[in-house]
Structure 1
């Protein structure tokens, strides 16, 4: 069982490029099976037991940890940065208790705009 399974939308060019870049940074963890990246479009019902639908994952990153907990949005990005060599400082900065609410707010607004753009461009 992976330490972290990240679900994302490969049909979004921005999301796909971002995850591809991140996956390359985490190549050792991916190869060891500790981190997995999965396309929600290949398994649209994968997170339905958590109450997450396809559009939820197309809107925001979702992940499950080794204990089966669901992690959503900015918290997924923070975990990835924490695991990524050279990016731990970013996780500490943006994930500290005073800044985290603003990190989540900023992530959610960006995700909303990106989701609307993807719908408008037909990236489904």
Structure 2
């Protein structure tokens, strides 16, 4: 497990996002309790990442996070960072985050995120 700090911003109005983050949060409970990982609802602080140029819709579309150095991490890279921190899931980070697989991982993550975002908008979740 890494001692790095990660603050993950996600959309609680999306039932798929909410369920996924709840599941991941439960796996990372020790790190959450230690303050190494935070999960924050972007709907409570819609301008939280505006200084990075990230709009509310950007964050509702894809996961966003900041690391211990204050750098912005977006999309599939957030999932990979979480897998690296999660006991027993480092293999997922190695499989999907290696230099050969990463472009495909990002592409498929983004397409799924686009579909999920459209579905949430169509369903009137904001």
TM-score surpassing 0.5?
A: yes
Q: Deviations over 1:4-25 (max 9, x none)?
A: 0000000000000000000000
TM-score w.r.t. the length of structure 2 is 0.96
State the distance in 2 between where 1:109 and 1:45 align: 25
Q: Which residue of 1 aligns with 2:88?
A: 86
Q: Which residue of 1 aligns with 2:25?
A: 23
When the two structures are aligned, how many residues end up with a matched partner?
Answer: 123
Gaps of 5+ in 2: none
Q: Deviations over 1:16-74 (max 9, x none)?
A: 00000000000000000000000000000000000001000000000000100000000
SS in 2 for 1:123: coil
Q: Which residue of 2 aligns with 1:106?
A: 108
TM-score w.r.t. the length of structure 1 is 0.98
Extract structure 1 runs of 4+ deviating beyond 2 A: none
Whether 1:38 aligns to 2:40 is yes
SS in 2 for 1:41: coil
SS in 1 for 2:9: strand
* Shift of residue 123, structure 1, vs aligned partner: 1.1
Gaps of 5+ in 1: none
State the distance in 2 between where 1:67 and 1:81 align: 19
